[in-house]
Amino acid sequence: MPLRDAKDAALLLAVIFKRSGVPRARISEKTLKLVGNRKKLKGAFVERIKEDLSDLGIVFIELETGGYGLMPSKALEAARAITAKKWLTEEELDLLKNGMPLDIHKLWRELDDEDDGAEVFAED
């Protein structure tokens, strides 16, 4: 059987997601291989699916625990906006406005102190 192109695979995923009726979902690599008619997943194929799903109003991300997550982009459109002006200190804002460097190590420590999931943001 020929490989299914990313646009068709994205359409299949969108239909599966819609039929599920859930607000967000996870899919396995196995499901992605099935809808793409592939034995191996290549990064370029996954990236094309991400773009095609975005065109269909679905956010598609690779999950740290394996597999992929799906959610409607409209869910983010209704999300509360956060701004640098509200959440950065005056000093941090002044440094940013003047093109000066921030204390990156201090920011990493803050993230590590307040969020057990900070490793998601950790530098490679």
Which one, of 21, 59, 15, 61, lies nearest residue 35 by Cα?
15
Residues 54 and 106 placed together within one structural domain of the fold: no
pLDDT score of 115: 55
* 10 and 48 together in one domain: yes
Co-location of 70 and 11 in the same domain:
yes
Both 70 and 93 in one domain: the answer is no
Instruction: Looking at the structure, tell me whether residues 39 and 54 fall in a common domain.
Output: yes
pTM (predicted TM-score): 0.73
**Could you give the 3-state DSSP secondary structure of residue 1?**
coil
Judge if 31 and 60 occupy the same domain: yes
**How buried is residue 32: exposed, middle or buried, by Cβ count under 10 Å (0-12/13-18/19+)?**
buried
Residues 52 and 99 in one domain: no
Kindly give the confidence (pLDDT) of every residue in the chain, 124 residues in length, as a single tens digit, with 9 standing for 90 and above. 788 999 999 999 999 999 999 999 999 999 999 999 999 999 999 999 999 999 999 999 999 999 999 999 998 888 899 999 999 999 999 999 999 999 999 999 998 885 555 455 544 3
Domain count, the chain: 2
Query: What residues make up the domain containing 90?
Result: 84-119
Strands 58-62 and 68-72: antiparallel
Cα–Cα distance between 2 and 51 in angstroms, integer? 22
C-alpha–C-alpha distance, residues 4 and 21, integer Å: 25
Q: What pLDDT does 44 receive?
A: 95
